[in-house]
Amino acid sequence: DVVMTQSPLSLPVTLGQSASISCRSTQSLVDTAGNTKLHWFQQRPGQSPRRLIYKVSNRDSGVPDRFSGSGSGTDFTLKISRVEAEDVGDYYCMQDRYWPHTFGRGTKLEIK
Amino acid sequence: EVQVVESGGGLVQPGGSLRLSCAASGFTFSTAWMRWVRQAPGKGLECVANINQDGSEEWYLDSVKGRFTISRDNAKNSLFLQMNSLRAEDTAVYYCVGGGWFAYWGQGALVTVSS
């Protein structure tokens, strides 16, 4: 199975500061059509997961532009600039290039 | 507006069965891959089963293969998960997820396997 390694697992951030989450996969996530099948999800406390970013860097409708995704191959990053209180929660990267589709362990973002 | 609503969760004894249902609307269900993703209490996310647009392809996590069956009814915009021979480790919130690249998530259905 493709293992998705996220770091850090805990991320205390001061309001207004930036935060960055790394995600590394054990295999390249580029498919035969050239799509990189790496996505990011946010799960606020007590809520269902919500997709933030698809295919590395495409932000979903309604997601603030403070969220951005980057990376290629096996190495990816989610960046949150100007962290707000509503950003508290767990963040997961996920690959659906291979079955089983696998998620990272999650990064818990909290406000310092 | 997209809506994904799961139902059918509950408490079941080890070895028992349960059938989850998911009603979707607001997107073209018949052209979407659909999945079930679960989250054990306090744990991360795990994709349990996938089904393609016309139901001709099914994919299962090894730990549920032979026990769980995913199916769909495109005429009713509905997804199902038949779970048999349930174990304590299947206890989780089960999310119905659809749309391209896991776009749409339901609120989840809690399945508790306990005697």
pLDDT at A14: 97
pLDDT at A75: 98
The pLDDT tens digits of the residues spanning B79-110 come to 999 999 999 999 999 999 999 899 999 999 99
The pLDDT tens digits of the residues spanning A39-79 come to 999 999 999 999 999 999 999 999 999 999 999 999 999 99
Q: Does the CB of B63 have a partner CB in chain A at under 8 Å?
A: no
pLDDT at B3: 97
The band of B68, judged by pLDDT with boundaries at 50, 70 and 90, is very high
The band of B19, judged by pLDDT with boundaries at 50, 70 and 90, is very high
Core vs surface per residue B82-106: b (16+ CB within 10 A) or e: ebeebeeebbbbbbbbbbebbbbbb
Q: B59–A60: do the CB atoms touch at under 8 Å? A: no
pLDDT at A2: 98
Q: B105–A51: do the CB atoms touch at under 8 Å? A: yes
Provide the mean pLDDT of chain A.
97
| Shortest CA distance from B102: residue in chain A | A51
The band of B45, judged by pLDDT with boundaries at 50, 70 and 90, is very high
Q: Does the CB of B61 have a partner CB in chain A at under 8 Å?
A: yes
pLDDT at B55: 96
The band of B66, judged by pLDDT with boundaries at 50, 70 and 90, is very high
Burial of B56 by CB count in 10 Å (0-12 exposed, 13-18 middle, 19+ buried)? Answer: exposed
| Rounded mean pLDDT, B18-29 | 97
pLDDT at A100: 97
The residue assigned the tokens 């080890």 is: B14
**% of chain A with per-residue pLDDT over 70:** 100
Which residues in chain B are contacts of A41 at CB distance < 8 A?
45, 102
Rounded Cα distance, B102 and B113, in Å: 26
Provide the mean pLDDT of chain B.
97
Rounded Cα distance, A40 and A69, in Å: 8
Rounded Cα distance, B89 and B33, in Å: 26
